[in-house]
Structure 1
Amino acid sequence: MPFDVDGPVTTVPVAAVRPGRSPRRAGENPEHVRVLADAPDELPPIIVRRADMRVVDGMHRLRAAGLRGETRIAVRFFEGGEDEAFVLGVRANVTHGLPLSLADRKAAAERIVTSHAHWSDRMIAKTSGLSAATVARLRRAHPELTPDTRVGHDGKVRPVNGMERRRVARAIMLAEPTLSLREVAKRAGISPETARSVRRRLPQEPAPPPPREDLVRQLRADPTLRFSETGRTLLRLLEVRALPPEKWAAIAANMPAHWRDVMGRVAMECADTWRTFADQLAAGPRTQTG
């Protein structure tokens, strides 16, 4: 991931450091500031953009240092621009410290979509702590920012092909069936004629797949899975995943408020793991090898 800060730690006057553009729209949490101020340990270094001495990551620690009456604070300097500083601040607040709320993460991702339109959905998702599907939905609001290529989390540049834009158009039509072709074309970044072609195909979509419970039942009945170690591992994982929607809803409804954001991040990481597994299946051989 770009924008890492590996420079040496130094100290600067607390009064010289200025607040930065935080991804926390409500500002700092006073209770968290007090917890940090009362802790016996030395505060970890904050990250400061050298060009303007604005905080990139560490506003709670800066406020805590002020409460402690400290006149100097440990910092690491960041040399990039404002947009890069914001990205680094978001990534830092997603991976440690007081978690960002879902609303804050979505607002941050929307800004990154506009400032780093050349980044892939998954790259922005990894930075902001969201799913790639959520980022894709946010990106649809900015069809004018659709480049011909995108940079993935692995650093590789990949083309944004017409098929992807057709999928976007199809999703828009399904979500808003009364929308005009011209508006669909504008949002998806395609021509009205292409949008018309996508709409003509909608009635010809294949029937929905069997319910997941039926598929899991078929997998359990297959001896090639039941009698292999990897197959049994997969079936055990699917037993958990096969909970009905009302069970998941009950679990979510009873989740303690102070664990909701953390559990949401864990769930998204699990979703990313299954998505990677799906990609590996799609890339693997379609026939058995002897």
Structure 2
Amino acid sequence: MRVIDGAHRVRAALQRGETTISGRYYDGTEEQAFVLSVWLNITHGLPLSLADRKRAAERIATSHPQWSGRRIAAVTGISAGTVADIRRRLGDAPALGGSRIGEDGKVRPLDSSAGRRLAGRLMTENPNLSLRQVAKAAAISPETARDVRNRLLSGAELVPTRRVRGAGVPANGGGSHGRPLNLVPSAGLSQRPVFDRAAVVSRLTGDPSLRYTETGRNLLRLLTLHARWTHEWDTIVENVPPHCTDAVADLARAFADMWADCATRLGPVKRIAG
């Protein structure tokens, strides 16, 4: 019979001399109730401070080691990177079975290297498969499948080298495979970086077939917006207000799916020589 959410409303009702107030009952463990109270408090009313949200993330990471960083981030209104930092500081309690439960409720392995390699083989053997088909077959997320496809196109290793957060060099001491994706040269096509977005968008902007049609100009506006704000992406994501994170995350996934469908319809994934 403890108030999980709405303590101020209850207090206000008592001060008004009321004896009843409308509410909903929740039946669960103390830790489950704590998770619910945190999630409710970042979605309405006076937002929790960043310090409060970090302390809540510490408690949830300890009580729910099987939850992914993104799931804890969604509940507490902080970034997944901050959750990862908190877990490292706490010693990163091991997840049961070597996997964690994602924000969507699906169980995924902590080590996705096998899934990445399988996804790469599937994409090479059948370029017409969609990202969702590959992700389902390889038991990885669509976002991971998209990263695998980008690495295939750039000739980079399918399994990324782990980096120490904030470090300027890979944990293994460097090497060609540790370079950022946009510095990997195209295999036998050009020496210009494959993912130099600004340069590619600039070239497309000069194409008359796009510049002088309404649909072409709309496409260029979208591409220019993405290219212009790439260098500020981390800052933008880190500063989304806690009460807006769910809506922004849902929109981001929806738009990502639209772009993925666009890429699939424009042409199959190219095979990588070698």
What TM-score, normalized to structure 1? 0.54
Aligned: 1:200 with 2:173: yes
- Indicate if the aligned counterparts of 1:130 and 1:268 stay in contact, CA closer than 8 A: no
Contact conserved, 1:224 with 1:231, CA < 8 A, in 2? no
Post-superposition offset of 1:234: 6.7
2:102 aligns with one of 135, 144, 152: 152
Contact 1:125 1:131 in 2 (8 A): yes
Identity among equivalent pairs (%): 42
Does structure 2 conserve the Cα–Cα contact (< 8 Å) formed by 1:109 and 1:135? Answer: yes
Alpha-carbon distance, 1:78 to partner? 1.0
**Higher RCO (CA-CA < 8 Å; seq separation 6+):** 2
**8 Å Cα contact 1:131-1:272 kept in structure 2:** no
Q: Give the structure with the larger strand fraction.
A: 1
- Does residue 89 (structure 1) correspond to residue 74 (structure 2)? The answer is no
Distance in 1, Cα, partners of 2:37 & 2:22: 17
What letter is aligned with 1:98? L
Determine if contact 2:204/2:220 at 8 Å carries over to the other structure. Answer: no
Structure 1 residues 159 and 208: alpha-carbon distance in aligned structure 2, compared to 1, 3 A threshold: closer
Report the secondary structure of 2:28's partner residue: coil
Shift of 1:242: 2.2
Asked if 2 retains the 8 angstrom alpha-carbon contact of 1:212 and 1:242, the reply is: no
Task: Report the AA paired with residue 239 of structure 1.
Answer: L
Gaps of 5+ in 1: 1-52, 178-196, 252-260
Matched, 1:242 2:244: no
Deviations 1:50-92 (A, max 9, x none): xxx1111111111211221222222311110011001111111
- Shift in Å at residue 136 of structure 1? 2.5
Partner of 1:106: 54
Deviation of 1:137 (Å):
2.6
Instruction: Note if contact 1:119-1:152 (Cα within 8 Å) is conserved in structure 2.
Output: yes
Secondary structure at the residue paired with 1:73? coil
Aligned to 2:131: none
What letter matches 1:152 in structure 2? G
Equivalent of residue 6 in structure 2, options 58, 62, 67 = 58
Q: Determine the C-alpha separation between the residues in 2 that align with 1:140 and 1:133.
A: 11
Q: CA deviation at 1:118?
A: 0.8
CA distance in 2, matches of 1:168, 1:114: 27
Give the conservation status (yes or no) of the 8 Å contact 1:149–1:157: yes
Q: Counterpart in 2 of 1:131?
A: 79
Aligned residue for 1:79, secondary structure, equals coil
Task: Say which SS state the counterpart of residue 55 (structure 2) adopts.
Answer: helix
**Alignment partners' CA distance in 1, 2:229 and 2:166:** 31
2-side partners of 1:73 and 1:97: how far apart?
A: 18
> In 2, Cα distance between the equivalents of 1:203 and 1:144?
30
Within 2, Cα distance between the matches of 1:262 and 1:205? 30
Q: Is the 8 A contact 2:69 2:84 kept in 1?
A: yes
Give the corresponding residue for 1:140: 88
Using the alignment, how far apart are the partners of 1:76 and 1:98 within structure 2?
A: 20
Residues 109 and 124 in structure 1, CA contact (< 8 A), matched pair in contact too:
yes
TM-score norm. by structure 2 comes to: 0.57
How many matched pairs? 205
When the two chains are superposed, the root-mean-square deviation of aligned CA atoms in Å is 4.2
SS in 1 for 2:3: strand
User: What is the alpha-carbon distance in structure 1 between the residues aligned to residue 70 and residue 254 of structure 2?
Assistant: 11
Supply the distance in 2 between the matched residues of 1:241 and 1:264 (Cα, whole angstroms): 26
The SS at the match of 1:150 is strand
Q: Is the 8 A contact 2:99 2:108 kept in 1?
A: yes
CA contact (8 A) 1:131 1:268 kept: no
